Amino acid sequence: MMLKNINIILTGAGRGIGKVLAQRLDSEGARLALIARTDEELQKTLYQLKNTESFYKICDIANGESVISTFTDISRKFNEKIDVLINNAGVQNPIGPFIENKMTDWEKNLKINLFGSLHCIKFVLPYMIKKEYGKIVNLSGGGSTSPRPNFSAYGVSKTAIVRFTETLAEEIKEYNIDINAVAPGAINTSMLEEIIHSGKMAGHEFNEALKREKSGGNDPKHVAELITFLSTSLSDGITGKLISAIWDPWKDSKYQNILRSDSNIATLRRIDNKYFAGIK
């Protein structure tokens, strides 16, 4: 019960990673405020939780006023004690070559993936600064560390999240607030279905998606374990990092110490052969 008496706000909690994550956090004793746009999905997630003090709220995180209203209500229910914020909500569209993308779809993507997370962080920060402690976890995704053709809006929004995470970490470090980004891996969620539905518009990822649909993809329990760790005091001092739930040995105490001590590990850096590894 590593999260007993810990209050957590979790966005995108109605399905996919969010649903699995809610169950894992609940098993560790957390009190959850579940956020999403669909009432029916949130009801199903809440029904599977054991902590009777957990609850859900309908909220469109892309709308700043909606976030302020909803989160104000949540803060009251939490007696103004917000310990952890997990920004899991996100969208993938538009899919296809940039030249064929509608700019309105791009704007929608950025409003949810980037500004949605910013709205939530902006609200909870004063509470965490006041008690000089807190945890924020942002979900990254494919395209944040390397080009992802035909998914440019998603890649740009998630890259922005990673750089913002690293930048804000420096600003709030003095308040003992840790903020990190997590790469969940290739998990079969509704986003996989979107790729398959897009067909040739997804480029080479269409065939990869069909293969992953059959293989099952990465188990979401891995990302749930990592985010749970980052929500506890066991991760104190690890901040401003992009950590992969699948590829990084984050359970290794030696690697955890490297994350704490090396400012360049698990971050976005330019390979220039001067300050960082390059061509020899």
Q: What is the mean pLDDT of residues 52-63?
A: 96
pLDDT number for residue 194: 59
- Contact by Cβ (8 Å): 228, 3: yes
Say which CATH number the domain at 79 has: 3.40.50.720
Give Cα 160 to chain centroid, integer Å. Answer: 12
Q: What is the mean pLDDT of residues 43-68?
A: 96
What does the radius of gyration of the chain's CA atoms come to, in whole angstroms?
18
Q: Identify the DSSP state of 202.
A: G
Indicate the number of domains in the chain: 1
Tokens of 113: 């993936």
Q: Which residues pair with 133 in a beta bridge?
A: none
Rounded CA-CA distance 256/234 in Å is: 10
- In-domain check, residue 280: no
pLDDT number for residue 101: 94
96 membership: H or E segment, kind and range: none
106-123 b/e (C-beta count within 10 Å ≥ 16 → b): bebbbbbbbbbbbbbbeb
- In-domain check, residue 171: yes
Task: Pick the more confident residue, 214 or 37.
Answer: 37
Tokens of 116: 């949605």
- In-domain check, residue 161: yes
**Per-residue pLDDT tens over the stretch 138-147:** 999 878 888 8
- In-domain check, residue 148: yes
Q: Which residues pair with 36 in a beta bridge?
A: 58
- Look up the domain containing 99 and give its range: 7-261
- In-domain check, residue 22: yes
- With 0.85 as the threshold, say if the pTM is over it: yes
- Contact by Cβ (8 Å): 90, 184: no
Supply angle C-alpha 101, 191, 89, rounded to 5: 95
